[in-house]
Structure 1
Amino acid sequence: MPRTKKQEIIYTIMMVIVMVYGMVCYNIALDTKGMQYFIFGAALSELPLMGVVAFVLDTFIAGPIAKKITFRLFTPGQDKQIFIILSISLLSLWTMCPMMSLAATIFFKTGLSVQILPVWLGTTALNMPAALIWQLFAAGPLVRFIFGKAVMN
């Protein structure tokens, strides 16, 4: 876990890249009715825009909310680290998924049309389970491992 503001920024950038890339691949696969090789390259073109959006939302909204709630529930040093990690991960996902789904709906699906609400709700419903699995079993462990080896040592 990051200990300094600089480490927190590095960790957030790493997590944003891995989460956004994975979720963009997932959404393109949904749109094209299946996973194909071109998706891995196509997702890179959306990464800069969605990455910046995710970084801003996580830094100023989702991250502070997740940490505030987590540190009301758990005390570092007293409670198991895994509970703190899972709480921050799940609470971040709970706020980030709807916000990022709204951004994707506006940028790539409907714009600001009258259909924005139902499309956003549908997008969020499809993204939430995938984001949960991606965060808990792939992105989260991968980023924590790399961060621990590269930044913390």
Structure 2
Amino acid sequence: MPRNKFQTIIFTLLMTFFMVYVMICYNIAIEKGNMRNEIFLIAFQEMLIMWPAAFIIEMLFGEKLSMKLSQRIITPFMNNSILIVLAISSMTVCVMCPVMSLLAVLLFKSPGSELVAVWLNTIVFNFPMALFSQIFFVGPLVRFIFGTVFKNEGKEVSDKM
């Protein structure tokens, strides 16, 4: 996990990239009626807007709110790291899914007077996929990549002591 601001930025860039890409592919597949190879390329068009937006939202308030909510679940005596990761990941989805769904509705769905209904419908479709992806695929992938890139970072600090 990130140990400083630079690492937090890198971790957040990776996490938002993969989560946004997965969710865009998922939403396009729903819109088209099924998954097709072309969706993997089409998704990059929306990435230009949604990835920076997700990064900014996460850095401005998403991370702080997710951590605050997860601290309600995590007790000071909890030393099982998987439970801590699951709590933080779940709360991140609870914060980011409604916000990103609203942004996607406003930018891509033209809801008109049905904004609230379309937004709630979008959340209902997106939340299970976002949670499943975060816990089982994207979260572990990003933590693996991040851990691989920064594996010597912690050793260098302990070697100097």
Q: List gaps (5 residues or longer) in structure 2.
A: 153-161
Structure 1 length as normaliser, TM-score? 0.93
Taking the aligned partners of 2:74 and 2:33, their CA distance within structure 1 comes to 42
Taking the aligned partners of 1:106 and 1:37, their CA distance within structure 2 comes to 26
| 1:44 matched residue in structure 2 | 44
| 1:125 matched residue in structure 2 | 124
Q: Secondary structure at the match of 1:79?
A: coil
Structure possessing the higher radius of gyration over alpha carbons: 2
| 1:98 matched residue in structure 2 | 98
Alignment length (residue pairs): 152
| 1:137 matched residue in structure 2 | 136
Structure 2 length as normaliser, TM-score? 0.89
| 1:35 matched residue in structure 2 | 35
Identity of aligned residues (%): 42
Q: Secondary structure at the match of 2:151?
A: coil
Q: How far off its partner does 1:56 sit?
A: 1.3
The 5 Å alignment of 1:1-153 reads 1-74=1-74, 79-110=79-110, 113-153=112-152
Q: How far off its partner does 1:48 sit?
A: 1.7
Taking the aligned partners of 1:75 and 1:2, their CA distance within structure 2 comes to 21
Q: C-alpha deviations, 1:84-143, integer Å up to 9, x for none?
A: 2111100010010011000000000016x2111111110110000111111111100000
Q: How far off its partner does 1:57 sit?
A: 1.3
Q: How far off its partner does 1:83 sit?
A: 1.6
Moved more, 80-89 or 91-100: 80-89
Taking the aligned partners of 2:46 and 2:93, their CA distance within structure 1 comes to 20
Distance 1:76 1:54, change over 3 A: farther
Q: List gaps (5 residues or longer) in structure 1.
A: none
Taking the aligned partners of 1:6 and 1:52, their CA distance within structure 2 comes to 17
Equivalent pair of 1:19/1:139 in contact (CA under 8 Å): yes
Taking the aligned partners of 2:28 and 2:150, their CA distance within structure 1 comes to 32
- Cα-Cα RMSD: 1.6
Letter in 2 for 1:98: P
Distance 1:39 1:73, change over 3 A: same
Q: How far off its partner does 1:13 sit?
A: 0.2
